[in-house]
Amino acid sequence: MSTTIWVLIVILALVLGFVGGFFAARKYMESYLKKNPPINETMLKTMMLQMGQKPSEKKLHQMMNAMKSQGAKK
């Protein structure tokens, strides 16, 4: 084969590798964040206490539901 064909094959393989790697990494991160959410009720309660608010269970659930619904929109 000529050198031009080898160069095209290498470039095509690199492009396919980058595209496949991007989507594989994206899928992995989505599943990781679904299993390990970045914030939970304990962290939210601590943040509210640090801001000087008295966190009630109702308010905590409202904020968690708002964060979950915001994450589902993306």
* pLDDT of res. 68: 81
Other CB atoms within 10 A of residue 48 CB: 16
**pLDDT digit string, tens, across residues 7-60:** 999 999 999 999 999 999 999 999 998 888 788 888 888 988 999 888 888 988
pLDDT-based confidence at residue 72 (cuts at 50, 70, 90): low
Q: At what angle do helices 57-73 and 41-50 cross, to 10 degrees?
A: 120
What pTM was estimated for this model as a whole?
A: 0.54
Report residue 58 as tokens: 């109702």
